[in-house]
Amino acid sequence: MPPEAYGTRDRGDDDLIRASELSQYAYCARAWWLGRVMGYRSANVEAMDAGTARHRAHGRTVEGAYRMRRLALALLVLAAVALAAALAVWLIVSVGG
């Protein structure tokens, strides 16, 4: 089938080779060449788009986990400072009184 049957890629970044393309080339150089050079598109574009969306959602989840981790660390440091301040006040009051 000609490339028009699958739709050609029009990314505008033909000089950029992604890691997924390296993986595809390692798996099957001919398939990479057909897509990259000849412009053929995969027959399972919907599944690939769904996978891309899932990866993006997972990336957002991971970023949220990192934010929560930073917040937990900040709250832990704040609690330690508050505990140290309370201990200092207690020592000052008990020694002075």
Q: Where are the domains of the chain?
A: 1-43, 44-97
Q: Which two tokens stand for residue 20?
A: 């997924």
Give the pLDDT score at 6.
45
The phi-psi region of residue 12 (left if phi > 0; otherwise alpha if psi is between -120 and 50; otherwise beta) is left
Q: Any idea which of 4-8, 16-20, 69-73, 74-78 has the lowest mean pLDDT?
A: 4-8
Q: What is the pLDDT of residue 12?
A: 55
Instruction: Taking residues 72-77, report their average pLDDT.
Output: 98
Residue 13's pLDDT is 60
What is the secondary structure of 30-66 as a DSSP string? Answer: HHHHHHHTS----TTHHHHHHHHHHHHHHHHHHHHHH
Per-residue model confidence (pLDDT) at position 3 = 46
Tally of CA atoms within 13 A in the half-sphere of 15 that contains its CB: 0
Two tokens at 15? 């000089």
Q: What is the pLDDT of residues 12-54, one digit of tens each?
A: 566 788 888 888 889 999 988 998 889 888 888 899 899 999 9
